[in-house]
Amino acid sequence: MAKTRNVAMLFAAGWESTERLRRGVIDYVRRKTRWTITAMPETFGPSVRSLAGWTGDGVLANVRRKSEAHAAHKLGIPVVALSGALEEGLLPRVLTDNEAIGRLGAEHLLDCGFRRLAFYGRRGAYDISLRRRGFVDCCARAGAACQTFQAPSLFGQWAGWSHAGQKLDAFLAGLKPPLGIMACDDLRARRVLDSCRRVGYRVPDDVAILGVDNNELICEFCDPPVSSVARADRQMGYDSAALLDRLMAGKRPPKGDILLPPTGVVRRRSTDVLAIEDPQVAAAVAFIREHIARPFGVESVMPHVSVSRRWLEQRFKATVGCTIYQYICRTRVERAKDLLAAPGRKRLLKDIARSCGFGSAKRFRLVFERLTGQSPARYRRDRQSREAL
């Protein structure tokens, strides 16, 4: 039988993303190898230095400081890092692709129609600077205006917490709505939401907010719930365990970091909006989105605007980029995607079709396949497979 190896997992306790990493590691161990796991579940910030003199075989660690990386080298055993806080790859690393996270966030807000965007980041962390770079570069390519706001980390700084949002308030107050803003993580997305209330901005009508990490405890308990870019945390745990297993077997480390792209944007009400400055088109869009669960056509939209159908069709296509009918179909399909991906007991496709305003399950399937290239059932299976990683 293969030797049972003793592996230390040094991850901060209490974070939802950390638990997903742990599950990924466990997935690998159950399928591929035999490990005994040493962990410190009650430690918020476990240190590699605490392993000095430990007689284990390998370490998975969230290494965020050079001193920790140097301590890892002194252990004399393989160590795989899972943090991109350091620019230098001092250890073999499996990381999320942070530039891709920034690009995906910008693309989502641009798809919502925003031409004025902002990024709220944190100083001192290289991974956050990459998210900012991806966001800013995407805005520049799209010709959209972009502002950035950098704040220091507040971890461990208890004094002055109640006043920490004043600079953010001033930054937001100086920007013109409608505005789409991406925060570097979900905690800061919640702070943006609080700041919008103080400044007097409505979310998402005036300001749409997007976070990163998809921490459901944070995102779902905000009012409104906050959209977030989801990372491949479970896959990152699995791949980091696979890399450590190879290193413990005497294989050479890869020449660079192993990067995993984000899994997508989990859309919630904080970005459930289309930024439109034309009042007639905005009124048409508002009617469509508010009544999308009911069956209706273009003719039902017209009583809610004060212009002719020909004029509205022309302005709608120029502003939104598609016809009114196409927008109705797209909005129904987007709602269907949310329902298909919802956790818990599977809903029947005919019930989802009815909840999205389709006249029949057959019509639902035809429109969904035309716009996505796959059937509703296949889309649900694919989403469940990705989320299981």
281 closest CA partner among 113, 61, 105: 113
Residue 162 has a pLDDT of: 55
pLDDT of 197 reads 94
Question: CA–CA distance from 379 to each of 229, 310, 386 (Å)?
Answer: 19, 36, 11
| Structure tokens that stand for 131 in this block | 């998210």
Helices and strands (H and E) in the chain: how many: 14, 12
Can you give the pTM of this predicted structure?
0.79
Predicted confidence at residue 165, as pLDDT, reads 79
Between CA 4 and CA 210 the distance in angstroms is 43
b/e for 245-284, b at 16 or more Cβ within 10 A? bbbbeeeeeeeeebebebbbbbbbbbbbbbbbeeebbbbb
**Mean predicted confidence (pLDDT) in 63-74:** 91
Report how far apart, in Å, the C-alpha atoms of 269 and of each of 28, 225, 266, 377 are. Answer: 35, 6, 10, 25
pLDDT surpasses 70 at 229 = yes
Give, rounded to a whole angstrom, the gap between the first and last alpha carbons of the chain.
28
Whether residue 388 has pLDDT greater than 80? no
Q: Tens digit of pLDDT for each residue in 308-345? A: 999 999 999 888 878 999 999 999 998 898 888 776 77
The CA-based diameter of the chain, rounded to the nearest angstrom, is 79
Q: What is the CA radius of gyration of the chain?
A: 24
At residue 40, does pLDDT exceed 70? no
Distance (Å, whole) CA 212 – CA 103: 12
- Tokens encoding 366: 């035809």
Domains parsed from the chain with CATH numbers:
5-95+233-263 (3.40.50.2300), 98-230+266-271 (3.40.50.2300), 279-380 (1.10.10.60)
Q: Which residues contact 230 (CB under 8 A, 6 or more apart)?
A: 213, 214, 262, 263, 264, 265, 266
**Of residues 38 and 302, which shows the higher confidence score?**
302
- Flag the least confident range among 92-106, 262-276, 287-301: 262-276
Please check the confidence at residue 215 and state whether its pLDDT lies above 50: yes
Q: What is the distance between the alpha carbons of residues 251 and 261, in angstroms, rounded to a whole number? A: 25
Integer Cα distance of 102 and 133 in angstroms: 7
Backbone angles phi, psi at 139, to 5 degrees: -60, -40
* 55 token code pair: 């007689």
Provide the token pair at 64. Answer: 């965020």
Q: How do residues 125-148 score in pLDDT, each as one tens digit?
A: 899 999 999 999 999 999 999 999
Helix (H, G, I), strand (E, B) or coil at 8: strand
The pLDDT value given to residue 159:
47
pLDDT at 112 over 90: no
Least confident of 37-41, 283-287, 366-370: 37-41
* DSSP result, 242-287: HHHHHHHTTPPPPSS-EEE---EEE--GGG-------HHHHHHHHH
- Percentage of the chain lying above the pLDDT 70 cut: 93
Q: How many residues does this entry show for the chain? A: 389
Strand, coil or helix: 307: coil
| Mean pLDDT of the 31-48 span | 77
Say if residue 41 is preceded by a cis peptide, omega within 30 of 0.
no
User: In the structure, what pLDDT confidence band is assigned to residue 111 with cuts at 50, 70 and 90?
Assistant: confident
Q: Does 42 score more than 70 pLDDT?
A: no
What is the pLDDT averaged over residues 271-278?
82
| Residue of 389 and 331 predicted with greater confidence | 331
Mean pLDDT of 92-117: 93
Q: Yes or no: say if 239 and 260 are a contact pair by the CB < 8 Å rule.
A: yes
In this prediction, what percent of the chain has a pLDDT beyond 90? 62
Q: Say how far apart CA 110 and CA 144 lie, in whole Å.
A: 8
C-alpha distance from residue 167 to each of 86, 123, 151, 270, 360 (Å): 27, 14, 9, 22, 52
- The per-residue pLDDT for range 275-313, each reduced to its tens digit, is 777 889 989 988 998 899 999 999 999 999 999 999 999
- Calpha distance 184→161 (Å, rounded): 19
CA neighbor of 63 nearest in space, from 81, 46, 50: 81
pLDDT for 166: 87
Average pLDDT of the chain to the nearest whole number: 89
Mean pLDDT value across residues 186-193:
95
Q: Shortest CA distance to 188 belongs to which of 206, 205, 171, 175?
A: 171
Alpha carbon separation from 277 to 283, 289, 357 (Å, rounded): 10, 16, 27
